[in-house]
Amino acid sequence: MSKPQDINALHLRDISTSEGSLSQRVYLSIKHAILSLDFAPGDNLRKAPICERLGVSRAPVTEAIARLASEGLVDVVPQSGTRVSYFSMSEIREGMFLREALELATVAKVARDLTEDQRKILGRNMRLQELLIEDEDVPGFYEADEEFHGLLMKFTGFNRLSDVAQTVSLQVTRARMLLLPTPGRVVETLAEHRAIFNAVLERDEKAAQDAMQRHLGQLMPRIQRLQQEQSHLFTDSPHPIREAG
């Protein structure tokens, strides 16, 4: 495994215009850098550059790191410091199992209960995805992709569903960022989304679930190939350390 590099704190988003408590804003800034892979698996997470970049004291950074450690995104290793966690295949498999259960239940309910206003909102999201592909804007497409799934969950009327889904699939979300630059993958993803969208519009619960299952079923084989190609980013074990101390 290659020697860990120190993170580049310049990748952190400015928190001066964000909302929430100071520790919440610091947490979200670091989390975004990890999920977007600006902070790569195995990178050393040193507090001093983060404090300097965000213009904060050590206390909110320490709180943020403790929270990220509890989510499995950061490993705090005694006598070795803090690092961005490697991809855990066991946690990715678990996350995919839980995420699929939630997504299939979601799309069935939305297919039953879709309103006209919701149809228009989903339609706008689909058009946005198409435009972003035309512009070759992969990061933008990723955000629209996340919004598509988030909208479906929002339309169930269950307010905590999106938060639960994001929590159980954090490792999956991070691994997906490695997949999107794969040639042709964004076009395939759009086609899969369109199949889900069309089935929902037709109020066909089974077709919607089948389309969602095909869509989600693309992930694990691709992630497993990535594990073979970039094994230095992965571990087979769950993250053993979940406390910041």
CATH number assigned to the domain comprising residue 213 = 1.20.120.530
Let me know whether 175 and 149 are in one domain: yes
Residue 38 pLDDT more than 70?
A: yes
Residue type (1 letter), 33: A
Residue 34 pLDDT more than 80?
A: yes
Q: Is residue 4 part of a domain?
A: no
Let me know whether 92 and 76 are in one domain: no
What's the confidence (pLDDT) of residue 77? 83
Q: Is residue 243 part of a domain?
A: no
Confidence grade of residue 151 (pLDDT, cut at 50, 70, 90)? very high
Let me know whether 39 and 153 are in one domain: no
Number of domains in the chain: 2
What's the confidence (pLDDT) of residue 238? 61
What's the confidence (pLDDT) of residue 49? 94
- DSSP-derived pairing of the beta strands 74-77 and 81-84: antiparallel
Confidence grade of residue 4 (pLDDT, cut at 50, 70, 90)? low
pTM summary value: 0.84
What's the confidence (pLDDT) of residue 239? 54
Long-range pairs for 144-148: beta carbons < 8 A, 24 or more residues apart:
145/189, 145/193, 148/122, 148/193
What's the confidence (pLDDT) of residue 243? 42
Q: Is residue 239 part of a domain?
A: no
Q: Is residue 234 part of a domain?
A: no
Q: Is residue 235 part of a domain?
A: no
Enter the tokens of residue 180: 């999107």
Asked whether the beta carbons of 30 and 12 are under 8 A apart, the reply is yes
Let me know whether 64 and 153 are in one domain: no
Q: Is residue 31 part of a domain?
A: yes
CATH number at residue 22: 1.10.10.10
Report the mean per-residue pLDDT for the chain: 91
What's the confidence (pLDDT) of residue 242? 47
What's the confidence (pLDDT) of residue 32? 92
Let me know whether 22 and 54 are in one domain: yes
What's the confidence (pLDDT) of residue 45? 93
What's the confidence (pLDDT) of residue 139? 85
Let me know whether 98 and 48 are in one domain: no
Let me know whether 120 and 158 are in one domain: yes
Question: How far apart, in whole angstroms, are the C-alpha atoms of residue 238 and residue 235?
Answer: 8
Let me know whether 65 and 96 are in one domain: no
Highest average pLDDT, of 220-224, 232-236, 237-241, comes from 220-224
Let me know whether 73 and 92 are in one domain: no
Give the tens place of pLDDT for each residue, 110-124.
999 999 999 999 999
What's the confidence (pLDDT) of residue 176? 85
Residue 142 pLDDT more than 70?
A: yes
- Residue that terminates a domain, selected from 85, 105, 136: 85
Asked whether the beta carbons of 39 and 29 are under 8 A apart, the reply is no
Let me know whether 105 and 69 are in one domain: no
Give the tens place of pLDDT for each residue, 61-90.
999 999 999 999 999 888 778 999 999 999
Q: Is 238 left (phi over 0), alpha (psi -120 to 50) or beta?
A: beta
Let me know whether 65 and 168 are in one domain: no
- Residue that terminates a domain, selected from 31, 53, 85: 85
Q: Is residue 188 part of a domain?
A: yes
Highest average pLDDT, of 13-22, 131-140, 208-217, comes from 208-217
Highest average pLDDT, of 7-11, 153-157, 234-238, comes from 153-157
Q: Is residue 238 part of a domain?
A: no
Write out the residue range of the structural domain in which residue 221 sits.
88-229
Q: What sign does the CA torsion over 39, 143, 152, 215 have?
A: negative
Confidence grade of residue 244 (pLDDT, cut at 50, 70, 90)? very low
What's the confidence (pLDDT) of residue 7? 85
